[in-house]
């Protein structure tokens, strides 16, 4: 770490000079700032006592260091054994309120990351109301930092935004009950001169899937306080005497190798210490959605399965429409029973017939939702979230189930389990297609309604924990109307997430660049979709669509039989490339060489195996570079002393030669060009 507290400045502590108390709190860099006493910047902890007081002052009490890392009750969290990591626990206390705050810091042997979490306990005799409990603060001198956040909307998630820090508060947030398409639970601070491969960069990521605040504040003394945690807006948690509250975990990384170094630290951390299913096989798949939407029956799906089998695609995923009376989006969510008019013999028959073809079965579900036109709603309208005296707010013709209630969770899970046990289902896509609006639960008294949004997320985590425990061989892919809940909390339960409903290749270059700033390529669902695109109408060559999807978890969102003969002839090549390069992309170190988002012309990245013996370069040109000479891509991440052979041409150079001399991409007067190059170590 390059930044230390400026201890040469006398802080005038208030125990020596009480009249400077407010000045001290206004400028001192706190490790975990609480509200009151003159702290006018964003606090990490804010509470209210029974008498209405809101001040809290935390003082060091003790600390301990122990091997390993404890789990967090009810929350996803990083893992590591005693030989992999060690944890520092610092205990703070407010002696007037008898409030205890435990700050946990875990460091890992194999990755440059620190996990931070916070636990607040009420040791007093009266109940307290917590209104802010953030997970981490980072206080720095502002040495010309830029702020990086990820923003977007449906079909254009995870767009990188970089701008100089300015006085005041700035950052990202969600109040939608989900981490959201609009912003992402992440921020980075980097030197203004930082590039992909050099310069200082700090990254903060929150292991949480609900409302969040990721904020950097520049104060009057040009110092920065960056905070991350559950958004205080609408949040309130009643803490009875003896009770405690556990905040979600934050992951912090620091890199002096630029944004690329920051990204690779996040990638390694998530792969090795958060994603429990990282090493699960990622099958190639064919999804039925853009192939036929709701318009299918048993024979139609079986024909898709035959087409998949012909090319060696491993899995057919039956998307929306297989249950209840679901022929459009207006009905049947919550009725997770097979529609046997569409599928005689149910999913069991379909799965068995697909298995005879050598193709596995996957399904789509939206377990958190309920349709007003459903048997479940007619029997239990109270299961849907609604504010008393107001008509519930429909979105996409559906309401949200109240997952804060155990009986609702049990009802949902019972149906999921029955479906999964009824057929040879290998994959489940868990979707969620709307935000939380009517945030109210009759299971909580009026003074505790501020707990509802967080308790919803805890209920979701409980459901998915039960699912991966009871069905350990199931491949779970999370989805939230695309990338609306692509966050570390979800990755704890599912090793991959559907990156965006927009699978069009050119738009995906921008979406996948932003996603890979924080997450490993192994986490991104990426498919070849219908053309012209159902999202933006763009016509993109089939080869380009395949190469754009290659880095992620590969599949198709179309009817293979409707492709041209030339396109069908490319499918075996695409599948072979995924089998060849997929393991490297999933486990290697990723280096960004060029950004289509920045240059609006071409995109390029490089993946290098951990032992430096194998590398792959992907180059995609979207627009013709009129009257340009050949392009030289400066490679990165290779071992300078190793000799590498270019597989397609036989050219041999040292790692230093490839990195300094670069890879030449010949100028082609075409709007679309794709180049995929392999470099392999020469065995001496």
Task: Identify whether the C-beta of residue 197 lies closer than 8 Å to the C-beta of residue 260.
Answer: yes
Two structure tokens written together for 330:
């207006």
Task: Indicate the pLDDT class of residue 37, thresholds 50, 70 and 90.
Answer: confident
**H helices present in 75-149, as ranges:** none
- State the first-to-last Cα distance of the chain, in angstroms, to the nearest integer: 39
Give the pLDDT confidence score for residue 251 in this predicted structure.
Answer: 98
> Using the 8-state DSSP alphabet, how is residue 556 labeled?
E
Residue 38 scores a pLDDT above 90: no
The two structure tokens encoding residue 2: 């390059």
Are 112 and 524 within 8 A, CB to CB?
no
Q: Is 589 a catalytic residue?
A: no
Structure-block tokens of residue 441: 């639960």
Q: Is the pLDDT assigned to residue 18 strictly greater than 70?
A: no
- In this predicted structure, the answer to whether residue 29 has a pLDDT above a threshold of 80 is yes
How confident is the model over 297-313, as pLDDT tens digits? 999 999 999 999 999 99
Give the HSE-up count for residue 563: Cα atoms under 13 Å, Cβ half-sphere.
Answer: 22
Residues 97-116, mean pLDDT to the nearest whole number: 97
Phi, psi of 551 (to 5 degrees): -65, -25
Chain segment 161-175, per-residue pLDDT in tens:
999 999 999 999 999
Question: Which domains, from first to last, does the chain contain?
Answer: 18-273 (2.70.98.60), 285-498 (3.20.20.70), 593-681 (2.60.40.1180)
User: Pick the catalytic residue: 102, 501, 589, 603?
Assistant: 501
Confidence of residue 278 (pLDDT cuts 50, 70, 90): confident
pLDDT at residue 533, rounded to an integer: 97
Tokens found for residue 492: 């704890």
197, exposed or middle or buried, with CB in 10 Å at 0-12, 13-18, 19+?
middle
Segment 570-584 shows an average pLDDT of 97
Read off the pLDDT band of 4 (50, 70, 90): very low
pLDDT digits (tens, 9 = 90+) for 628-668: 678 999 999 999 999 999 999 999 999 999 999 999 998 77
User: Would you mind telling me the total number of residues written for the chain in this entry?
Assistant: 684
**Which stretches of 451-546 are assigned E, i.e. beta strand?**
475-478, 496-498, 524-529
* Secondary structure of residue 412 in the 3-state scheme: helix
Active site residue 648: no
Annotated catalytic residue within 335, 431, 589, 603: 431
Q: 52: which residues sit within 8 A by CB, 6+ positions away? A: none
Nearest to 505 by CA among 441, 580, 556, 450: 556
Would you state the pLDDT for residue 627?
Answer: 58
pLDDT > 70 fraction of the chain, expressed in percent and rounded:
97
Nearest residue to 461 via CA among 72, 180, 160: 72
pLDDT digits (tens, 9 = 90+) for 426-477: 999 999 999 999 999 999 999 999 999 999 999 999 999 999 999 999 999 9
Point out the least confidently predicted range of 119-128, 570-579, 660-669.
660-669
Q: Express the helix, strand and coil content of the chain in percent, nearest 5 each.
A: 25, 30, 45
Band (pLDDT 50/70/90 cuts) for residue 2 is very low
Q: Looking at residue 3, what is its pLDDT?
A: 42
Checking if the pLDDT of 1 tops 50, the result is no
How is 335-397 classified by DSSP, letter by letter?
A: --SB-TTTSTTHHHHHHHHHHHHT-EEEEEE-TTEE-SSSHHHHH-GGGB---TTSPPPPBTT
Q: Give me the pLDDT at residue 17, please.
A: 66
pLDDT for 625 beyond 90: no
Report yes or no: 229 and 243 within 8 Å, Cβ to Cβ: no
Mean pLDDT of the chain: 95
pLDDT at 10: 57
Tokens of 275: 């994603």
pLDDT of amino acid 26:
87
Helical packing angle, 452-470 and 406-422, nearest 10°: 30
Map tokens 């709603």 to a residue. Answer: 377
Residue located via tokens 């805890």:
458
Q: How far apart are CA 31 and CA 139, in angstroms?
A: 8
State the pLDDT at residue 11: 55
Q: Mean pLDDT lowest for which of 503-507, 622-626, 673-677?
A: 622-626
CA distance 478 to 178: 13
Using one digit for the tens of pLDDT, what is the confidence trace for 513-564?
999 999 999 999 999 999 999 999 999 999 999 999 999 999 999 999 999 9
């Amino acid at each position: 770490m390059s930044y230390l507290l400026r201890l040469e400045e006398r802080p005038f502590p208030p125990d020596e000079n009480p009249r400077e108390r407010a000045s001290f709190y206004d400028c001192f860099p706190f490790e975990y700032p609480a509200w009151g006493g003159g702290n006018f910047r964003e606090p990490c902890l804010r509470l209210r006592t029974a008498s209405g007081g809101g001040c809290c002052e935390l003082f060091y009490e003790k600390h301990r260091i122990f091997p390993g890392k404890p789990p967090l009750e009810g929350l996803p969290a990083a893992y590591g054994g005693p030989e992999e990591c060690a944890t520092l626990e610092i205990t703070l206390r407010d002696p007037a309120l008898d409030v205890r705050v435990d700050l946990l810091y875990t460091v890992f042997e194999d990755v440059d990351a620190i996990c931070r979490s916070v636990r607040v306990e009420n040791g007093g005799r009266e109940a307290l109301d917590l209104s802010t409990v953030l997970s981490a603060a980072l206080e720095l001198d502002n040495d010309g930092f830029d702020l990086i956040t990820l923003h977007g909307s449906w079909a254009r998630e995870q767009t990188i935004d970089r701008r100089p820090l300015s006085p005041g508060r700035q950052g990202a947030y969600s109040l939608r009950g989900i981490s959201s398409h609009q912003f992402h639970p992440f921020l980075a601070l980097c030197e203004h001169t930082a590039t992909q491969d050099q310069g200082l960069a700090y990254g903060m990521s929150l292991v949480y899937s609900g409302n969040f605040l990721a904020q950097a504040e520049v104060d009057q003394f040009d110092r920065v306080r960056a905070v991350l945690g559950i958004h205080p807006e609408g949040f309130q948690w009643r803490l009875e005497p003896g009770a405690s509250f556990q905040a979600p975990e934050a992951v912090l990384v620091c890199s002096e190798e630029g944004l690329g170094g920051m990204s690779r630290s996040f990638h390694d951390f998530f792969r090795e210490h958060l994603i429990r299913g990282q090493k699960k096989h990622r099958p190639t798949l064919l999804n039925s959605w853009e192939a036929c939407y709701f318009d299918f029956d048993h024979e139609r799906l079986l024909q898709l399965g035959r087409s998949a089998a012909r090319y060696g695609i491993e899995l057919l995923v039956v998307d929306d429409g297989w249950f209840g009376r679901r022929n459009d989006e207006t009905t049947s969510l919550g009725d997770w029973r097979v529609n046997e008019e569409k599928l005689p013999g149910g999913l069991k028959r379909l799965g068995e017939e697909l298995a005879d073809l050598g193709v596995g079965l996957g399904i789509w579900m939206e377990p958190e939702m309920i349709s007003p036109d459903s048997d479940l709603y007619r029997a239990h309208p109270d299961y849907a979230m609604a504010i008393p005296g107001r008509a519930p707010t429909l979105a996409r013709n559906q309401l949200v189930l109240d997952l804060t209630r155990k009986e609702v969770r049990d009802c949902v899970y019972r149906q999921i389990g029955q479906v999964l046990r009824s057929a040879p289902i290998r994959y489940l896509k868990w979707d969620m297609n709307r935000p939380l609006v009517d945030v109210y639960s009759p299971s909580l008294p009026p003074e505790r309604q501020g707990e509802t949004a967080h308790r919803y997320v805890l209920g979701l985590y409980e459901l998915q924990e039960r699912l991966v425990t009871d069905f350990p061989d199931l491949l779970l892919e999370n989805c939230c109307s695309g990338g609306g809940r692509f966050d570390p909390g979800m990755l704890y339960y599912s090793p991959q997430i559907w990156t965006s409903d927009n699978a069009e290749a050119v738009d995906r270059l921008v979406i996948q660049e932003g996603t890979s700033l924080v997450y490993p390529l192994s986490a991104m669902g990426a498919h070849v979709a219908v053309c012209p695109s159902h999202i933006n109408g763009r016509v993109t060559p089939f080869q380009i669509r395949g190469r754009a999807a290659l880095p992620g978890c590969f599949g198709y969102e179309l009817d293979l039989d409707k492709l041209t003969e030339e396109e069908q002839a490319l499918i075996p090549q695409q599948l072979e490339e995924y089998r060849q390069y997929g393991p490297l992309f999933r486990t290697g170190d990723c280096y960004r060489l060029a950004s289509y988002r920045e240059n609006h012309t071409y995109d390029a990245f490089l993946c290098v195996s951990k032992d430096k013996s194998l590398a792959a370069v992907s180059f995609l040109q979207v627009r013709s570079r009129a009257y340009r000479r050949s392009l030289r891509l400066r490679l990165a991440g290779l071992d300078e002393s190793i000799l590498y052979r270019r597989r397609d041409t036989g050219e041999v150079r040292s790692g230093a030669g490839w990195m300094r001399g670069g890879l030449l991409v010949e100028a082609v007067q075409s709007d679309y060009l794709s180049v995929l190059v392999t470099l392999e170590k020469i065995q001496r």
